[in-house]
A = this chain, B = another copy of it.
């Protein structure tokens, strides 16, 4: 089984890289699909599923006691249920065959399957440029910067809580790719060759 997980800084092009790499390898890529499945399982709006899970995941873990006490019990339960559902969905998707999974702690959830774990990052200016090029109407440079910071901070915090490991620390990944100034599509054939070599290693 070839499973590739992609951790990524917001705006680094990790999602695009995942899609393109999956296409190149002829396997599916799961990204928003995970959210949609979790939402279906939980019977809630996909718009809010990640918001609840990612923002409040820290309330799930016993070592964040102070936060738990401050967090409404409803939110706590919702986060636990979302996380459980997310694990279930990620495992189910991965059991169907070779795939690329973007985010969602897939590297941790699927560790027994020995996935190839990639991390995609870039310099701040490069990420900002990428984000601004596809910003929604009404978003300003200031609001985009704020969003970038908020999302990556939540990812780092939640990864730590979920795994005890440091998000983005190169030792947790097999390959870390800096996309600063690069077109994602220019990287794909080299990365596909790398992935093939990696899966043939045993």
Contacts and interface: CB of A to CB of B under 8 A. Distances in A.
Contact of A170 (B170, B186, B189, B197): B170
Interface string A108-130: 00000000000101010000000
Interface stretch (A29-37, A154-162, A176-184): A176-184
A123 B181 CA distance: 30
Contacts of A171: 121, 123, 178
A173 interface: yes
A194 B190 contact: yes
A128 to B, nearest CB: 15
A200 interface: yes
A175 B174 contact: no
Contact of A190 (B123, B168, B193): B193
Given A121-B170, A170-B176, A194 B197 contact: no
Given A170-B168, A178-B171, A178-B175, A197 B187 contact: yes
A201 interface: yes
A159 to B, nearest CB: 15
Contacts of A191: 190, 194
